[in-house]
Structure 1
């Protein structure tokens, strides 16, 4: 099962067990969060309703991206400015995609049905 979620103004296609890098989300490493802005969900080629659907994720780490150098110059005016920026990121592991409150929950741990 897959879902398309929106966080930080960007959209990500996720499935159970995936790792994604998103813009900074508050939380400590190891804590669980829910991404509630699900735009599309489906299993193979058939689509599901996204009413009340959430994506459960676990924060792996808080990190910084690579440094971007911003250099401004105006010719013949002795004007030079050099500035750097490192974007903060959060690395997430998708635990499962499921309904909120008793809906179907599929995760990486439940790939095979339990034997009774």
Structure 2
């Protein structure tokens, strides 16, 4: 019994020590922690709002639901405006295609020195 009461006293003593150290923290540290948590919740709220606004066509502002088409320019379009020519896309598809072809087909140049000798 005495050992249990000693353990309880020790536990209570450590709990009091923990609370003392918690209350001894400077106010600036507590405010920093609070502002970080608050900023994180604001970021979560703002990302939820971005998901809701992305469900409309960029050209006609029509709700697209589940069948929205995302273009390479990064915008979302309905079935009517999904083609780049229709929504006047500014993404440069030709440069992307040229770069892909250049990587897939390297130039093969033979040595010209053999012909001269």
Where on the TM-score scale, by shorter chain, does this alignment land: which range?
under 0.3
Query: TM-score, normalised on structure 2?
Result: 0.19
Judging by fraction of residues, say which structure has more strand: 1
Higher RCO (CA-CA < 8 Å; seq separation 6+): 1
Q: Going by fraction, where is helix more abundant, 1 or 2?
A: 2
CA radius of gyration, larger in: 2
